[in-house]
Amino acid sequence: MEPWVVALLAAGIPAFAAALTYAISEWLRARRASSDRRAAVFARLETGLERVAIVETMPRLLRRWKRPDVAIVQATTSLFEVLPRREWVLVYWLAEEAYRLTVARGFEERAQIATRMSSTILAWRMRRRRMRERLAIDLASREQTILDYS
C-alpha cells in the first residue's frame, strides 16, 4: 500500500469518527432541548390549572386581577409550537376547554373544567394513541366548536 494512502486512512478514520460523534451529540442536544421546551409548556399549563382553585377562593375584587385562564390559554397555544402535528388533537381539545373555562360561571364549573383538563393531560401522557382517538371522537361529537380543525 502506498504511504500516502496509509496517511490518508490514518487521518481520515479519526476525522470521520469525530464528525460522526459531533453530529450525534448535536442531534441528542436538539432532541433534549425540544423535550425541555415541551416540559416547560406543560408545566406552565399545569400551574395555571392548579391556580384555578386558588384564585376562586380569593375575594371577588382580587379575582379579576388574577386570571389563571389567560395563562392557560397562552400555554395551550404554545403547545402548537412544541407538539408534533399528529398530537394537535390534544391542543384543539385543550383550546376548547380553555375557552369553556374562560366563559364558565361559578367555582364548581371552573373546578370541573380544570380537573377534566388536568386528568386528560395525565391520561394523554400515559396512553397517547388511545387519547388521540378518544379526543378526536369527543371533538367530532360536539355540536358547537370555536375552532376550525382543518
With a CB cutoff of 8 Å and minimum separation 6, the contacts of 141 are none
Alpha helix (H) ranges present in 57-106?
Answer: 60-63, 68-82, 88-103
Per-residue pLDDT, averaged over 70-82, amounts to 91
Cell numbers linked to 15: 476525522
> Is there a contact between 51 and 68 (Cβ–Cβ < 8 Å)?
yes
pLDDT for 140 beyond 90? no
Share of the chain above pLDDT 90, in %: 28
pLDDT band for position 145 (cuts 50, 70, 90): low
Q: What is the pLDDT of residues 13-26, one digit of tens each?
A: 888 888 889 989 89
Give helix 88-103 / helix 128-141 axis angle, nearest 10°: 50
Overall pTM > 0.85:
no
